[in-house]
Structure 1
């Protein structure tokens, strides 16, 4: 069954399959990429045909599908370039239609378990492929030669610019605060008061230790709780890489909660993975083995929920290939450290992790995955009317020489002295732009 289906599907690229009975099949148009795959069990000739998006990853993870020539990347690139042809197979078309109707339900207890499944893995694993600050989300590459560390620093700066941190002492809520890097960065850069919330026990423990080591425990507090349990009002809210775990059924609840937590003149920035086309389910392998309970949104789903919440969308940016590059860095680092990862877990885990990293990179390069950053506010007039303030803030911060700060494992990453933090709206004027250095009301500054 599976070899016959591939004959219908694979039109571009060059795939050679050695099936479970040892028979050799060739597919494609003889163009690159090239890959030879061996199935090491007869039953795979049939089981791979039932749900290939799930079962191919399982077979690779279990060592029953091996790459004889080329690489896993080549195999998944061929699959991605021929993905639209899967719709020609009636069974796949029906399965796809059913999966599109699934919407994740994510109550708090289940959310905690889902987070623990991934984020409470050994810190040694994450140290093998993440940057020193453990930024586990899309980096921002200003130049082709940017290192992962530089690009992750760019990402934090880019998000900070969109938060419009125009005065010290702002209260900021970080929903899904990870290992604390973004919260600590914002506290250092703009003298804001940060409250971070996470459901990961390990991330919470590391975050608190980092805040204490940086001497910021008085201004940066991390809590082990669900965002739905948070109360109070915040001048700024940021959420990076957490919306993927909300679940489609809970989008209305998420944005309604944001509206309730945001001060009247508050601003929020949401950074998340999504689809650039119609709504669809997350890959079943990723959902089962990597991020249980996860889902990806299309902008049509996000905007509909935002509209119902009463919030205003004040800015949107699509980061196209930035996550593909981020994942390339992660994949290359992980593959270089494979023996160390296998020593922490085992070879099967390493193959699972490799499949996850390659699959996601392929999704951003050749399919419809992208990252969106949405800026939200209760009132449309709380921000300057042009985007110059973002550009000016980033330019000014890139020019600052930074000193070391303690990272998650005691290493040092970029930071800066507190006395150099932004202190006035004049800081947004560096390089010229939408803010004026002259005295005047904030309203006048917004229109200048």
Structure 2
């Protein structure tokens, strides 16, 4: 009875809109005034001790197992919880229990493969045809996801103000679309590096299929092993994977890989204030070894690495929209995903996509593009940002 009272007390302050909660014993309670916007079924009594200690891990696993059901938008429920400062979902007390976030090269490879080597057939079901798995860039409200992903790649490359015939390195090159566009549209000699065997194999096939053998190559290796210097470096959705303790070294490596006065465009997820850090549910089920740093920490690391900060652009709303489209696409093919894996996997992935969208919607995480020049920076870039928006 005491535990039920604790549940009611917590849930009465957990959301900033009315929600109906159906408890495991058949009782129902509506919290907040007005018509409920969502209904939460707690089918099994959860340990409040575990909820208090590891809120997202305990609640995430309960949803995966069907011990909790949500009728209505998961994204809206999670976003409402994030917005409600007194919510237990906002509690970061679990941080002190987590291990240090260093990564050896072997650990990094294992972590990357656990997520990206689920299978190309899985990602092809719900990503756009470019197989771009990072924040899109919606220049127009009616852009398709594919168009928005192409917009993003051109936006990245234009910021570098690339010159034909020069060299580009893409750290964490995914399925290679940035490499192909860098070569085909901008005339660059592009090299990609990935730790995902599936992405590497796919990129090799595409290079041959597109006839780009003289302009594009891909390597299956850790970014720390890359040798040489390049005119441009790009890295999209990568620094979130390197681990907290490796972030200073990551930006120093970017500096090392740039020729004097050369430029880099680094695109990745950041947190507000002290950063989002690590989430135990995300770490266990989605991105092992992941760490989301704060904007200010990244800026410190860049400056310490002797990189000049030339431009900083937040794309939070763009990533929210990207995730919403991904989740819609995913649920359109959910039966096929279930056949590949199982219902627990489907619930896990749906929760991941919607909770991530909610985090961007609530504003506790963002995605940033950092335009950097290896110091001394000289005067290689125009005085205004107009050049970034010219048509191809």
> TM class, shorter-chain normalised?
over 0.9
Deviations 1:187-213 (A, max 9, x none): 111111111000001000000100110
Given the alignment of the two structures, is residue 28 of structure 1 paired with residue 32 of structure 2, yes or no? yes
Residues of 2 paired with 1:105 and 1:51: CA distance? 21
Partner Cα distance (1:276, 1:151) in 2: 25
Q: Spell out the pairing of 1:193-342 with structure 2 (5 A cutoff).
A: 193-342=189-338
Matches within 5 A, 1:319-398: 319-378=315-374, 379-381=376-378, 382-392=380-390, 395=391, 397=392
Distance 1:234 1:5, change over 3 A: farther
Aligned residues of 2:261 and 2:377 also touching (Cα < 8 A): no
8 Å CA contact retained: 1:10, 1:28: no
1:14 shift after superposition = 1.5
Give the secondary-structure state (helix, strand or coil) at the position aligned to 2:21. strand
Query: For residues 76 and 320 of structure 2, what CA distance do their matches in structure 1 show?
Result: 15
Q: Which of 120, 124, 134 matches 2:131? A: 134
| In structure 2, C-alpha distance between the alignment counterparts of 1:193 and 1:88, rounded to whole Å | 47
Q: 2:154 matched to which residue of 1?
A: 157
Give 1:419's aligned residue: none
Question: Which residue of structure 2 lines up, in the alignment, with residue 104 of structure 1?
Answer: 101
Preserved contact between residue 275 and residue 299 of structure 1 (Cα < 8 Å) = yes
- Aligned mates of 1:385, 1:102 — CA distance in 2: 45
Match of 1:208, SS state, is helix
In structure 2, relative to structure 1, the CA distance for the partners of 1:20 and 1:242 (3 Å cut) is same
In structure 2, the CA distance between the partners of 1:279 and 1:265, relative to structure 1 (3 Å rule), is same
- CA contact 1:14–1:78 (8 Å) conserved in 2: no
Partner in structure 1 of residue 118 of structure 2: 121
Please point out which of 34, 41, 44 is paired with 1:41. 44
- Taking the aligned partners of 1:4 and 1:164, their CA distance within structure 2 comes to 57
Deviation digits for residues 38-92 of structure 1 (CA, Å, limit 9, x no counterpart) = 222234566434422221111111111113x42323432332232x113799xx4
SS in 1 for 2:86: helix
User: Where in structure 2 are there 5+ consecutive unaligned residues?
Assistant: none
Task: Confirm or deny: 8 A CA contact 1:170 1:193 kept in the other structure.
Answer: yes
What is the TM-score with the length of structure 2 in the denominator?
A: 0.93
How far apart, CA to CA, are the structure 1 residues paired with 2:202 and 2:153? 19
Give me the whole-angstrom Cα distance separating, in 2, the residues matched to 1:279 and 1:55.
Answer: 22
Q: Distance in 1 between matches of 2:64 and 2:11?
A: 24
Distance apart, 1:297 and its partner CA = 1.5
The answer on whether the counterparts of 1:8 and 1:85 sit within 8 Å (CA) in structure 2 is no
CA contact (8 A) 2:173 2:194 kept: yes
For the structure 1 residues 31 and 40, does the alpha-carbon distance in structure 2 shift closer, same or farther, using more than 3 Å as the test?
Answer: closer
For 2:19, which of 12, 15, 21 is the aligned residue? 15
Q: How far does the alpha carbon of each residue in 1:111-164 deviate from its partner, in whole angstroms, 9 at most, with x for none?
A: 000001100012121011101010000000011111101101100110010121
TM-score between both structures, scaled by the size of structure 1 = 0.82
Question: What is the number of residues matched between the two proteins?
Answer: 386
Question: Per the alignment, do residues 143 and 49 of structure 1 end up closer, same or farther by CA in structure 2, a change over 3 Å counting?
Answer: same
CA contact (8 A) 2:76 2:358 kept: no
Say whether the 8 Å CA contact 1:171–1:194 is kept in structure 2.
Answer: yes
Question: In the alignment, which residue of structure 2 is the partner of 1:73?
Answer: 75
Q: Contact conserved, 1:142 with 1:151, CA < 8 A, in 2?
A: yes
Change (3 A) 1:75 1:262: same
Where 1:297 maps in the other structure, the secondary structure is: coil
Secondary structure at 1:307 match in 2: helix
The whole-number CA distance in structure 1 between the counterparts of 2:139 and 2:123 is 24
CA RMSD across the alignment = 2.0
Distance of 1:315 and 1:232 partners within structure 2: 25
Query: How far is 1:218 from its partner?
Result: 1.7
